[in-house]
Structures are given as structure tokens and as C-alpha cells.
Chain A
Amino acid sequence: MRFTLNGKKRQVQAPPMKRLLDVLREECGLTGTKEGCGEGECGACTVLLDGMPVNSCLIPFAQVRGSLVTTIEGLQGRHPLQDAFIAEGGAQCGICTPGMILAAAALPRGATMDEIRLGLAGNICRCTGYSAIYRAVEKASTRSARRGREAP
């Protein structure tokens, strides 16, 4: 079956009901996507499917045909959120971090605090109390806004 993974066309053989999470981790060797609960409650397995955050533990592989999938590996360490999460302490144990960063990456540009809290409500973090995550998201958002302005 064909789909686009982190910008590259891929052909992967896997059973249609296999969870996207397992396909990514086992067939594609991308273990940055984590499993926290297996029932769509914690958001640790969040990936972007056609640009939208989804729980990859609830997506049958069959539904990924022809779609664009972005995992944490797809950000290549270059996304402003990644730096900001390090600087602001947004990642402690790190297990929710890949999903959290991808959910944050899908927030509207210049998101308000209410939008940030709503947009991340499907991602549970047990370490930070979320405060440092908000600071990281806000910092990345100002930084990318600045970068946007400076661009020719």
C-alpha cells in the first residue's frame, strides 16, 4: 500500500486493520511515535494525517492509503517547537513529547492561550503540569512569526 511518510513516498505491506501506530513502529522502524494507552485518551501516539493530528493507535492502516503522514521524525529537529521545548522545559520524561509537539505543530499560527489549551487537551502530560509546554508553544510561535516577518 502506498502513502507518503515524512515527505517520502512509501510502499508498505501490512494487514489493513493493523494500527498505524504499529505500522510506523514495526514496519517503518520509526519508534518516535509512542503508545501510552491504546484507546485514544492520552495522545502520546499523535501523528499528523493529511496535516491533522490523529491518534495513530486508532487508525487502521487501510485508511492511510494515499495520505500524508508526518511523525516526529519528519520534523527533523528543525521545527521551532523542538528548540523551544528544550529551552522551556516542555519535555521532562519525554514520552508524551513527540505527540505533544505534533499536536502543537497543528495549532493555528499565533494561537491564543485558550486555543493552545484546547488544541492540546487530547495530549496528557504527567510531568510538567503543562505550564512549560505553553511557554514552549508561545516561544516557538513568536519565533516563527519573527522568522516569517524577516523572510524576504
Chain B
Amino acid sequence: MGAIGRNVPRKEGLDKVTGRAKYVDDLTFPGMLHGRTIRSTIAAGEIEGVHLGFSRKGFTIADCRDVPGRNVVALIELDQPCLAERRVRHFAEPILLLAHEDRERLLEAEARIAIDYRETAPNYDPEKSDRCFKEIVIEKGELARGFAEADVVVEGEYRVGHQEQLYIEPNGVIAVPENGGITVYGSLQCPYYVHRALRVLLGLSDEKVRVVQTETGGGFGGKEEYPSMIAGHAAILAWKSRRPVKLVYDRVEDMVATTKRHPGVIRHRTGVTRDGRMTAIEIDVLLDGGAYMTLSPVVLSRGVIHATGPYRCDHVRIHGRVVATNTPPNGAFRGFGAPQTQFAAEVHMERIAEALGMDPVRLREKNAFRPGDTTSTGQKLGRDTSALRVLHEAVSRSDFRAKRRAYRGTNRGIGLALFFHGSGFTGGGEVKLASKASLELTETGARILVASTEIGQGTRTMHAQIVADTLEIPYEKVEVEAVDTARVPDSGPTVASRTCMVVGKILERCAQEIRRELGGRTARDYLAERGPLVVTKEYSGPDGLYWDDETYRGDAYGAFGWGCDVVEVERDPETWEIRPTRITAVCEIGRAIHPVLAAGQIEGGTAQAVGYALLEEVAIRDGRMANAQLTNYLVPTTLDTPPIDVAILENPYEHGPFGAKGVGEMPIDGPAPAIVNAIRSLGLDVRSIPATPERILEAPAVQNPG
């Protein structure tokens, strides 16, 4: 029996349920010091002086002058210092590093440090920013013509807040001086991002830097780019002290200092005919990038490409900007711009239905992408375009229409959202990335060598299933090498729903070649006869994919996943609290390699989106996250998460391994607009999230309730 489609045991499952799995804070090294980061207490200004106020004895102290190479966190642009030099651009910007054997002494020392600043006026308003990190325009057809065809024009402004990833294991690393270089062990998603950042920061050659992933307690994008920063800090301290240094954040520091989901303001103007056909779509997207660029341009890119939602329209103009403010930099978070823009798209869709007095399902049916339609970037959609299928499945599974009627005039509401999500890097990203994966023949099976990290989503398990079935060997015979840059090739980052579809596909090709090479021999015979066999393959995309980064035209993604969520809510008339009572989540993901893991991604992403929609509010006061505690930043508990009815539909994508597309991110795109649309069905005109009771209290009535 093959492994694909079967719920084989997770590779590291036993270690996780027995507490044997080693996370970074579980490790110690001989002579290890503990590190601490001293951060700015202002949002904008210049550092004028640093006064330690304690004896240096026993401490290693480092600032920007101790950086052996270039003082930057190398990512897209080298604009972010690893340690502030003179300028401070956000609260909690790292300035000074301390290390000591005793953690308690670090806290005492921190309390004695005084830093003098000359403050300048900070800007927290993206509308008033004077620095744009990236501007993108997507144009299709002629907008003026589209509006001329319209009977009705619907406009709206939608707002989304920050969101904290809130992995339960905070960011942490250990840097160990080794062989004239540095080895970093850490909780991270992208070992080769950290590898490059350390090479630049320390001025070391490739082989002097080694990055090893420890078991990682959640990432959600929050451990995509930030580990390059914390690894840099630990490495600087280790370099200077010549001793291993552990730097593990506590929850408050993690929330105050690390990246969040970009907040945004999204404005729509849509032309529609009376019978609901969209003739023109004009969208303006403004994202708040925070103080440094991080991955903001790429977040914006995914955001604008998904901004129309899964709807066809001949005349589209999308204008997007991501700008600087004096808040801690925002960065990667599951969905990566798409949850923001599709929130706006789907709430706007609901408002169009209200304006036309049209059934919201009918309106979506009319405009949803079909195979052969083109997206805003001109991408012609393939046979695996399942927008209508997921819509119909969700509507019938949830009994949407009957409930919508039955709930009218009660304290119950029901809403839906239709959405899509591109798998893999945007545009030419995968070609540029040229990821590699290796497969090694072993006496009993095969060993996978990839830099794709297991962060809870099931990388090891799902990759092993793909290899097992391609080689036609039992799943148990496939081993997965630990992620260590000294041993595994650069498979690209573990992000963008690419680990299965893109890296899994490269592994499938490796396994196919091993089969050919074996030519019917057993592994043991082959190894005895011919010696070791390791096959390494590089990404090679489907033929005919085209992308122009200048004009933003072409095939934005190899494939899209498709989803539809229906959410039922209950309103407490006395407290304006909204409780989701049931969520139906339908996703078309090509092929479910491991149904339990795939459902886990959908359920988990859905719950995270419930928090995004209703509970999770980052309160920024004077540029600082004022509620950086789990007591005040509320994520969903068991009692806040309703039953989730998951339906996985399959529509194999010919270039994915066994037909699989991405699944990790898409589930977070739909629940927030579906929840807000359910609230709208109660007659409350809500257009921003989180829709806290305080906001709902202020909400005006919907003008034309459906």
C-alpha cells in the first residue's frame, strides 16, 4: 500500500508527545553564556551616549563596533542594522548586547544601563510616510471603459490591523564558535537566510558558517526573517567572548521586538452591471512596513496579486504601496499580504451584493474564475481552477441559503468568503531561487536531504511519503536528515506554501532518477557494486511559465489553491460580543498527501484567522506594543474556537508531486471576511478588523441588508 493519501505516523511524532524533542532552549553547551539585548526606548532619534552603570567583569558587551563584517541584517535590501549605530528608527531597536554566565546578572545589569537620546518626531501614520519601500501597479484592460459599462459603482475602504504570529516557542538561538567560524543552532524556518546573513555580518566564507535547525515550536512566518537578526546577535557575542551564547527571548521581548503581520488600508472602487457582472475593479493597497524593509516588497507583491479575490474582470487597476513608519518592522506571516487584501475584496463583494440587492452566492458564482479565465496579471488559469466547486460545496455543506433566511432578524448571522492562494514564490521567484534537494540511497531505503524545515506542518512526513511512493518502498524506510547547512543543500526558504509543491516535486524527480539508476537492483546490491549514490536536483518549472517583473504581467504562480469558508456567528446583544459557532472550510489543494496533516493546516489556519478577525489587536502606543503579554494580547482558546467542518477537495495539479498544490497559507485568507460578512448579515456595517466588541458597538447599520 502506498503512503500518499494515507495518514502515516508523523516522523517526529513520538519525540513530540514524549517531551524528548529538543527545542533550542532545551540545549546547553559547555561554558555557555546567556545573552540579552538592550533596546531603544524611543521610536525615533539619535543615540548620544551609553552609560553602563555596572562593572564589566564577567560580562561580554558588544555594540555595532564589534561587528566583524557589515553591520546589516542581509535580506532584500541592506537597510537594517544588526545593532543601531546612531540613528534609532523604532522602539525596541537593538543597540547593545550583553552576555554573562548567570541570567539573573544580565537582568540586574540591564536595569543599570542608561542611554541618552536626542529624540526626533516619529511618524506612525502610513498615509504620511515619506519613504516608500515598494510601489506596484497592475493594469489589465482599460479601467475607464470598464466603468463606462457599469450600472452601479461601489466604493469602500477596509482596514486590517497588525497580527502577532504567536508561535508558542519564542525566538531563540545558540551561537557556538567552532573551527574558526560560527555554528548557530536555532528555532527557524529558513536556514539559508540565516546562513547568508551571518556570512555578511561576520565577513566569513561559506564553509565557516553553519546553521542547524533545532525542533521549532511554530513559525507562521515569524521565524522566516527574524532569526537572521537574533542569530546575528548571538554570533556577535559568541565571536567576541569565544564561548557559546544562548539568546532566547521571553514572551514580552518576542512580542515587543519581532515582526508582525502588516496592517493596511485597502480601498476598492468597483463597477458592476445590474445583474452583477463586474466590469471594472480599481484597488488601492497601502501597507505599513514599519521601520525597515524586511520582506515588505514581497508581501505587497502577493497582496496586490490576490487583491481582486478569485474573480474575473476585464478592466482592472491595482495600485499598491508599502511604506515606512517608526514602528518595529513588519514581516512575514502566514498568507503574506493575501489575508489583508482578500479581507477587503470579500467584504467589498458582500457590499456589492447589498448594493445590488443580490444573493451573495449568486454574485460570486457570476464572477468567480473559471478555467481559462485570466487573472489581473494576465495569467491564464488552468484546469485546476476550482473556485465554483469550493463555493458550491461550502454553500451546500453548510446549508448556507436556508440558514441565511432562518437567521434573519435573530441574533445569529451567517457569512461566506471565497478565496484563492498562489503556491510557491511569486512570479519569477522560484526560477531565481533555483532550489535544490538531494536524495541519498541507503542500504534499506533512502535519506532525504533538504533545507525545508519541519515547523509543525509536517515537512518531514510529507516529503518522506512522496519519496516512498516514487521509489515504491515503505514510508518507514525513508529517513529525513536533520536540517544542517553543512549537510543539506539550499532548498530555499520554508515559506509561501512551497514546501510540498515545489520542494516535494524536486524530491520526486530525485527519486525518479534513483529508480532509473537502480535499474531494478536492490539498494544493497547497488551500493555494493557502484558505491554511494546521492542525487541532487534543481528546481525546474513547468514549461511556458512567463513573468515580467517590470510590468507585473504574466504567470504569478504555478498554481492556485481554492477555498470557501462559511461562518456562523452569534451576537450577544448586551455585550456586542460575536461568537463564531460553526465554520465550514472547503479547500481544493490538488492532492492531500497526508489528509490528517492537510486538515491540520486548514483547522489551524482557520483558528488563527478567528483571532485575526475578532480578538487579536496589537495596541501600539507611542510606537510601542503596549499589550505585549498573553494576558492582554488575546489569541483564541478552546472556548473561542468553534467546531470546524473541513472538506478537502482534490483537483490534481499536473506539475505538483502526485498532483499536490500548497495548503499552508490559504486557510488563513477566508475566515476573517467570512466572519465580518456574517456580522454584516446581522445588520452591522463593519469594515475593519479585529472586530472587537468595542468596534462593533460603534458600527453603523448596514444600508441595504441582504
Contacts and interface: CB of A to CB of B under 8 A. Distances in A.
Contacts of A63: none
A60 interface: no
A122 to B, nearest CB: 8
A72 B12 contact: no
B503 to A, nearest CB: 19
Contacts of B630: 36-37, 39, 41-42, 124
B604 A73 contact: no
B402 interface: no
- Interface residues of B: mostly helix, strand, loop or mixed? loop
Given A86-B13, A95-B217, A129 B637 contact: no
B639 A91 contact: no
B616 to A, nearest CB: 11
- Interface residues of A: mostly helix, strand, loop or mixed? loop
Contacts of B15: 94
B121 interface: no
Residue of B251, B455, B597, B646 with highest tally of chain A CB at under 10 A: B251
A129 B17 contact: no
A20 interface: no
A132 B456 CA distance: 13
B608 A131 contact: no
Interface in B627-651: 629-631, 635, 637-639, 641, 643-644, 646
A38 B628 CA distance: 13
Interface stretch (B165-173, B271-279, B358-366, B430-438): B165-173
Residue of B220, B630, B646 with highest tally of chain A CB at under 10 A: B630
B607 interface: yes
Interface string A20-41: 0000010000111111111101
Given A31-B22, A34-B217, A128-B604, A117 B638 contact: yes
A113 to B, nearest CB: 9
Nearest to B633: A41
Contacts of B607: 128-130
A37 to B, nearest CB: 4
Interface string A62-86: 0000000001110111000111011
Contacts of A129: 603-608, 641, 644
Contacts of B23: 31, 34, 95
Interface in A89-111: 89, 91-98, 101
Interface residues of B, number: 56
Contact of A132 (B16, B220, B596): B596
Given A33-B19, A131-B643, A77 B14 contact: yes
Contacts of A95: 23, 167-169, 217-218
Contacts of A116: 638
A151 interface: no
B459 to A, nearest CB: 11
Contacts of A39: 251, 629-631
Interface string B205-235: 0000000000111111000000000000000
Nearest to A71: B19
Interface string B250-266: 11000000000000000
B600 interface: yes
Contacts of B12: 94
Contacts of A14: none
Given A31-B26, A32-B19, A92 B168 contact: no
Contacts of B637: 121-122, 124
A126 B648 CA distance: 21
Interface in B559-603: 596-597, 599-600, 603
A39 B632 CA distance: 11
A94 B597 contact: no
Contacts of A123: 638
B457 A85 contact: no
A98 B19 contact: yes
B25 interface: yes
A125 interface: yes
Given A39-B631, A72-B19, A127-B218, A96 B644 contact: no
A124 B9 contact: no
Contacts of B410: none
A114 B458 CA distance: 29
A86 B11 CA distance: 10
Interface string B159-200: 000000111111000000000000000000000000000000
Given A34-B217, A131-B603, A126 B13 contact: no
Residue of B26, B635, B638 with highest tally of chain A CB at under 10 A: B638
A145 interface: no
Interface in B431-475: 455-458
B646 to A, nearest CB: 8
Contact of B19 (A73, A121, A126): A73
B26 A127 contact: no
A87 interface: yes
A89 B461 CA distance: 12
Nearest to A41: B630
Contacts of A92: 218, 456-458, 600, 604
B17 A85 contact: yes
A96 B215 CA distance: 13
Contacts of A120: 638
B21 interface: yes
Residue of A73, A85, A97, A101 with highest tally of chain B CB at under 10 A: A97
A123 B14 CA distance: 20
Given A31-B22, A96-B168, A87 B7 contact: yes
Interface in B291-336: none
A83 B14 CA distance: 8
Contacts of B639: 117-118, 121
B55 interface: no
Contact of B18 (A36, A42, A73, A131): A73
Nearest to B170: A36
Contacts of A91: 10, 13, 16-17
Interface string B598-622: 0110011111100000000000000
A48 interface: no
B600 A77 contact: no
A43 to B, nearest CB: 9
B456 A127 contact: yes
Nearest to B254: A37
B457 to A, nearest CB: 7
Contacts of A132: 596, 599-600, 603
Contact of B600 (A30, A42, A89, A124): A89
Contacts of B631: 39, 41
Nearest to A128: B604
A143 B499 CA distance: 35
B20 interface: yes
Nearest to B585: A129
A101 B637 CA distance: 16
A54 interface: no
A138 interface: no
10 closest cross-chain pairs (CB), A and B: A32-B19, A95-B217, A93-B456, A129-B607, A94-B16, A41-B630, A92-B456, A72-B19, A129-B603, A31-B26
Given A116-B638, A118-B639, 8 more contacts: A39-B251, A82-B18, A89-B599, A91-B13, A92-B218, A94-B12, A94-B17, A130-B603
14 contacts: A32-B18, A36-B170, A36-B630, A71-B19, A72-B18, A81-B17, A89-B596, A92-B604, A93-B169, A93-B216, A118-B638, A121-B638, A129-B604, A129-B605
